[in-house]
Every structure is written in structure tokens, then in C-alpha cells.
Chains A and B, each alone.
Chain A
């Protein structure tokens, strides 16, 4: 079956612009996660959805970052007024129900802010 997909695979933008990154989880997975991976580092947690609601958004670095999952499936990570420090690979993962289940990762979106 299809795995987690993310679009676009690469995004180049200019400082100050707005970007949206999309994640399509595995069908039927109720838990969805966003992580950010900087060069040479492990993924860092951003936000976790259980269904439509954000159950834990403690990893969002500031109020420029926002994520939604309006129908409990596809999720969009939105970044306003991008900064060069936002450049990273943004990873999405899903799992059947959260709570220690294996997380299945997408290929990521590489964001470059010039």
C-alpha cells in the first residue's frame, strides 16, 4: 500500500515569504507527526495530531509556525515570514493510533530559505 507522502519534495523560497508543506499519511492512521531535521542532526519534534486536533504542539519554535489537519487525514504545515534559520528537512510521520506504535515516515520536504 501507499506510504506517507509529502509535497513538495523541495521548496526554495525567499526570506519573509509564506510556505505550506503538505503531508498525506497512510490511510487509516489517526496519529500524525511533524518533525524538523537540520543538517547533521536527528529529527526534532514539532507537533502531533490525534485525529483533527493538535494533541501536542510543544515543539513548534514560535508563532510563525502553524499546522492543521481539518479532516483528520491530510495535514499542512504553514510557515509565515520565513527566515534563513527555517531551512531544514521537514518530516511527516503517521501511526495507527499513537502511543508507542511504530511511526512511518515520509521522504520529507527540503526547505531552503534564501
Chain B
């Protein structure tokens, strides 16, 4: 079945630093790819998505590009803020219904 591998955390950065969180996947075909975020005390919410190869998803200054050649969907942000501190999950669907999630990467940003 489909699977996702994420870099382990925590990732600790100073404010305004550059962020990369790696995500690679194994899948049948070319499914949509997602990044979800879980802020402290809140539910999971969709951060961005890409529906086909070479698509770039973006939201709130975050970006991720669907790379078919390297089966990757790395999350990047040029300048992180303290408010970006959260747990980030890479995910992809299987059988058009369920989502398969990575283990999550905790980001801690300090002023």
C-alpha cells in the first residue's frame, strides 16, 4: 500500500530562519499529496496540497512541490515565525478515501 516517510523532529529554529521538512512517499499511481498542520491544542487542518506532478502547493508562506522523479513533497518556508510552532504531517490518500499520514514533525520556533 501507499506510505509516507517524514524526517524526525523536533526541528528547532530561530525566528526568520529557513525551514525544510522532508517528506518522501511510495504510491501506486500519482495521488494528490497533502501537508496538514496541528497547532497546540487544536485539530488537524490542511495547510496545502498538490494534485499532480510538478504542482506547487502554497499557503501562509509555506510551499511544497510534487516531485515525481524523487517521490518527494518537501515542505519549505523562507522565514519562520514563532506562530508556526506546530506539528506538521505529510499525507496521501489510498483507495480514494483514507489518508495515510507520516509520523509528524514537531517544529519549535524561538524568538
Contact = CB atoms under 8 A, between A and B. Distances in A.
B33 to A, nearest CB: 11
Interface in A44-86: 44-45, 48, 55-56, 59
Ranked 4 nearest A-B pairs via Cβ = A42-B101, A45-B98, A105-B44, A107-B43
Given A42-B104, A106-B43, A108-B43, A59 B32 contact: no
A98 interface: yes
The size class of the interface chain B forms with chain A is 20 to 34
B14 interface: no
Interface of B: 4, 31-32, 36, 42-46, 49, 51, 89, 91, 93, 95-104
Given A43-B44, A107-B43, A108-B43, A100 B93 contact: yes
Contact of A56 (B42, B98, B102): B98
B103 A41 contact: yes
A43 B101 CA distance: 6
A87 to B, nearest CB: 18
Contact of B43 (A42, A45, A55, A91): A91
Contact of A45 (B51, B89, B96, B99): B99
Contacts of A45: 98-100
Contacts of A100: 31-32, 51, 93, 96
B22 to A, nearest CB: 15
A54 to B, nearest CB: 11
A3 B32 CA distance: 23
B49 to A, nearest CB: 7
11 contacts: A33-B97, A42-B104, A45-B99, A55-B97, A56-B98, A91-B44, A98-B97, A100-B31, A100-B32, A105-B36, A106-B43
B99 to A, nearest CB: 6
A102 interface: yes
Given A40-B103, A45-B99, 15 more contacts: A3-B43, A31-B97, A33-B97, A33-B98, A40-B104, A42-B89, A42-B104, A45-B98, A56-B97, A56-B98, A91-B44, A103-B99, A105-B43, A105-B44, A107-B42
